[in-house]
Amino acid sequence: MLKIYGRSNSINVDKTLWCASELGLAFERVDVGGAFGGNHEPWYLALNPNGLVPTIDDDGFVLWESNTIVRYLAAKHATGTLWPSGLLTRALAERWMDWEATTLARDMSTLFVGLVRTKPENRDVAALEKARATLAEVWARLDAHLADNRYVAGDDFTMGDIPAGALAYRWFSLSIHRPLLPNLEAWYLKLRERPAYREHVVRPLS
């Protein structure tokens, strides 16, 4: 059985759980990281030398890095759907996965940690506003793309929607000023219709 190491309030673990559930996979999740600790113990570092979550063990095959895990599970179990068969469509899906990691995630982490996991008196208000303003511009890029696409890689839901889709829940749930991005919001509402998204992504922020 697939084993997923990581705490359920980690955005990167959420990606993995959402993907596994979309695929209908049976899995066991093991609490690691955050309040649970364990991620710097020798047994875990032997699996993932970075000491981060998630890590998966798929019948002895160990893999870390959340977007890579999503790619792997989609390729193994969903060629033609989550893992697009067409090279061009698959490249589009992967492009937006990499965009999430390189362009979106850092400022989303700054905003989330500052507003959810930091006491008000300890917040860096200037840094939070800078991250919010940057993210308004960054999310607008995806909004523009979605003007002509139902999902990030075209008409169908793919692995490409998972990384940014997980962060979209946080973006729309934080108490911040957001610009009107109708295409982004319509995409997000479609994601919320998916049972696996509601189960593993739509949860109280913590």
Q: Order of strands across the sheet with 2-5?
A: 27-30, 2-5, 55-58, 61-64
Taking alpha carbons only, the member of 158, 44, 41 closest to residue 96 is 158
pLDDT of residue 201: 98
The domain limits of the chain are 2-77, 87-199
* Residues 79-90: tens digit of each pLDDT: 999 999 999 999
CA–CA separation, 49 and 51 (whole Å): 5
Q: What is the mean pLDDT of the chain?
A: 97
Q: Is the pTM higher than 0.75?
A: yes
Residues of the chain with pLDDT > 70: what percent? 100
pLDDT (average), residues 30-55 = 96
CA–CA separation, 153 and 187 (whole Å): 12
When pLDDT is cut at 50, 70 and 90, the band that residue 69 belongs to is very high
Q: Name the fold adopted by 2-77.
A: Glutaredoxin (3.40.30)
Sign of CA dihedral 14, 17, 8, 183: positive
CA–CA separation, 154 and 114 (whole Å): 34
Domain 87-199, what architecture? Answer: Up-down Bundle (1.20)
pLDDT of residue 125: 97
Whether residue 128 contacts residue 110, with contact meaning beta carbons closer than 8 Å, is answered with yes
CA–CA separation, 42 and 18 (whole Å): 28
Got the DSSP string for 49-93?
TT--S-EEEETTEEEE-HHHHHHHHHHHH-BTTTB-SSHHHHHHH
* Residues 105-150: tens digit of each pLDDT: 999 999 999 999 999 999 999 999 999 999 999 999 999 999 999 9
Helices 161-173, 66-77: axis angle to 10 degrees equals 130
When pLDDT is cut at 50, 70 and 90, the band that residue 75 belongs to is very high
pLDDT of residue 145: 98
* Residues 87-113: tens digit of each pLDDT: 999 999 999 999 999 999 999 999 999
pLDDT of residue 116: 97
* Residues 150-177: tens digit of each pLDDT: 999 999 999 999 999 999 999 999 999 9
Question: Is it true that 2-77 and 87-199 share their CATH fold?
Answer: no
